[in-house]
Structure 1
């Protein structure tokens, strides 16, 4: 049975505040828990006006306190931004606060220019080259499987579920080699989806953490009573994608009717390309789109993404989506 989870970037909307963004995230997490979602993940981004999840472990502590049973985690922590010891302490603390509920999704992309590298006091491109070794060190700090000269407290013995994230073949190969579950970020980078999943499943080596390959794929989903309303909801995120790719990022803008029709051909093509990992429309249309995506990927889990300008609209979209998908799971 395919499970469903939620990824949130803690979007800050135009005219909104940081406090409102965090309140919207906790409300969404509660709705995801009530709807039967498996996980609620928050992604690490820095120095972006429209995304408030930079202090990811702090946000997850807030979400954990607002919920009871849903797993909380990072989608992901960009390990080159940190030392393995720091992350072991942070997620060891989360595990102590919310035992049996914590995921640690790890990503390699530094995604930072020289200004942010100076602010973080890190050579991020050099750190990215050491990513496989840092993953092994982090795992050892949590499990104690290798004797290290220092003990992370909290950290050692924490029952944190490690995940490898990726949008290329590198992450798939590393996840397979280490026997970790693998999450592919098709919602913004679908190019290598099929090849990465094939490689991961083909080369997977069982580990103490995982006996067989386990795949989660992220996709954008916008659901509403009518197709037109769903497309309108999706237009805020579409605007954000276009602005980001054209070097003009900002806060999440209000929706615009027929937004894609106003764009030049290259921007429309970019949105169409991202649409291969998306489902937008009525509950019936969304179910058909998600079912087709599951058939394509064979995913064990689907991570539902998609920011809306109105936080209540995202909750309604999630509820409609989960209602639409429930009969498929029950069959």
Structure 2
């Protein structure tokens, strides 16, 4: 079973720092991976904002978006996402407005409602500004105004930013952003790569409540997918042990750098630990070419997603690139000319 040719593939990168590696190496690998994804025909490459997390180098997300866009030719580059509670909307509008002027038609602005960090770090980011759940819809609306055409009497203008109309996406792992995206007529990305429990409920709500807007006439859905693809099922399971270790660290509060794969890692865990990792990664596609093709096809069929956005935490860079090649072939993508 192969996914429909109309299904698009994209990638979300947390810019993991590998055990024994450096931040500079993680950043260089992100660019190399983006260039490879572009050559395979991926639609977009997003970077995720996180702060104060061991092993994650994507905190300065807008800077990274510019770095990746500057090192690629055609692929769309964006945030997956900017965590809006951490930033004043005007600052975001000016940063992404600048990016849109530098790389016209290639920049996406994905927005998240969570801080992407702990409360202490959140306070350090915004000082004494305390965000509430009610602030997010207002901040999204403000960003839409700042990135849209200047209106008569508008007192604050994002410069750059005004009239760039950078596409805004809402990201989420619950029902809140699904409903807001539907009400605003915005595209919606669900974070099934770390919180798959409400995936189908959120997508159903988004589609049922969707109101066409000036920017989007019908619902558009992206689903985050953990991917571990290799030339055999056994190799893929071995490579996935790096992700299993990362997830266990998240669940236990013992975050660390991305660890090399460990044979038989899951067998060393308690049953409840294995179950928790399994729940976290219930949307994951792990296997050789045939299993990856059937897994991606099944997820595409079950969600009717327009795009699958892969999260690929393979420790060894060459095997990471190979993983994307296998996924691309499974979805009918092929090498494209990026020299134009």
- The TM-score bracket by the shorter chain reads over 0.9
> What residue in structure 1 maps to residue 82 of structure 2?
77
Question: Which of the residues 198, 202, 213 maps onto 2:208?
Answer: 202
Larger CA deviation: 146-155 vs 166-175: 146-155
Alpha-carbon distance, 1:272 to partner: 1.7
SS at match of 2:15: coil
1:175 aligns with 2:186: no
Alpha-carbon distance, 1:125 to partner: 5.3
- Structure 1, residues 275-321: CA drift from partner, whole Å, max 9, x if none? 43111111110010000001110101110112111122111100111
> What residue in structure 2 maps to residue 2 of structure 1?
7
Distance 2:231 2:117 in 1: 40
Task: State TM-score, norm by structure 2.
Answer: 0.93
Contiguous gaps of at least 5 residues in structure 2: 1-5, 335-340
Higher relative contact order (CA 8 A, sep 6+): 2
Question: Which of the residues 146, 164, 167 maps onto 1:158?
Answer: 164
- Structure 1, residues 151-205: CA drift from partner, whole Å, max 9, x if none? 1101001131110100000010000000000000001001111110000000000
> What residue in structure 1 maps to residue 73 of structure 2?
68
> What residue in structure 2 maps to residue 51 of structure 1?
56
Alpha-carbon distance, 1:145 to partner: 6.6
**CA gap 1:107/1:114 in 2 versus in 1, 3 angstroms:** closer
1:271 aligns with 2:277: yes
Distance 1:289 1:237 in 2: 18
> What residue in structure 2 maps to residue 116 of structure 1?
121
Alpha-carbon distance, 1:44 to partner: 0.2
Distance 1:166 1:285 in 2: 28
Matches within 5 A, 1:1-331: 1-122=6-127, 126-144=131-149, 148-326=154-332
Contact conserved, 2:49 with 2:116, CA < 8 A, in 1?
no
**CA gap 1:327/1:303 in 2 versus in 1, 3 angstroms:** closer
The 4+ residue runs of structure 1 with deviation greater than 6 A are none
Distance 1:249 1:125 in 2: 26
Task: State TM-score, norm by structure 1.
Answer: 0.96
How many positions carry a matched residue from both structures? Answer: 328
